[in-house]
Structure 1
Amino acid sequence: MSWDLPTPFVIDLRVEADDIDGLGHANNAVYVSWLERCAWRHSQSLGLDLAEYRRLDRAMAVLRHEVDYLAAAYEGQELQVGTWIVESDQRLKMERRFQLVRPEDGTTLLRAKTIFVCIELSSGKPRRMPVEFVEGYGRALQEPFPLEL
Structure 2
Amino acid sequence: MPFTLTITASPDDIDELGHVNNAVWVKWIQDIAVTHWTTIASAEQQAAYIWVVTRHEIDYRGNVGAGETVTGETWVPEPPRGARFDRHVRFTGPDGKVKVEAVSTWALLDRATGRLQRVRPELAAPFLT
Q: Same fold (TM over 0.5)?
A: yes
Detail structure 1 runs of 4+ shifted over 3 Å in the superposition: none
- Letter matched to residue 107 of structure 1: K
Q: Out of 71, 76, 94, which is 1:80 matched to?
A: 71
Distance (Å, rounded) in 2 between the aligned partners of 1:48 and 1:38 = 17
**For residues 116 and 48 of structure 1, what CA distance do their matches in structure 2 show?**
19
Offset, 1:91? 3.1
Match of 1:25 in 2: 19
Query: 1:68, 1:47 → 2: CA distance?
Result: 29
Q: Distance in 2 between matches of 1:99 and 1:48?
A: 25
C-alpha RMSD of the superposition? 1.8
* Structure 2 counterpart of 1:110: 100
**Equivalent residue for 1:60, pick from 51, 56, 63:** 51
Choose the corresponding residue for 1:119, options 97, 104, 109: 109
Letter in 2 for 1:81: G
Contact 1:60 1:118 in 2 (8 A): yes
- CA offsets, 1:88-145, max 9 Å, x none? 3363111110000002x1110011001111122233222223x4xx324312312xxx
Contact conserved, 2:84 with 2:106, CA < 8 A, in 1?
Answer: yes
Count of residues in Structure 1 that have an aligned counterpart in Structure 2: 129
Q: Which segments of 5 or more consecutive residues in structure 1 lack a partner in the other structure?
A: 1-6, 143-149
Give the distance between the partners of 1:48 and 1:73, measured in 2 at CA.
Answer: 34
Secondary structure of 1:88 counterpart: coil
Q: What's the TM-score once normalised by structure 2's chain length?
A: 0.89
Sequence identity percentage: 28
Which AA in structure 2 matches 1:69? Y
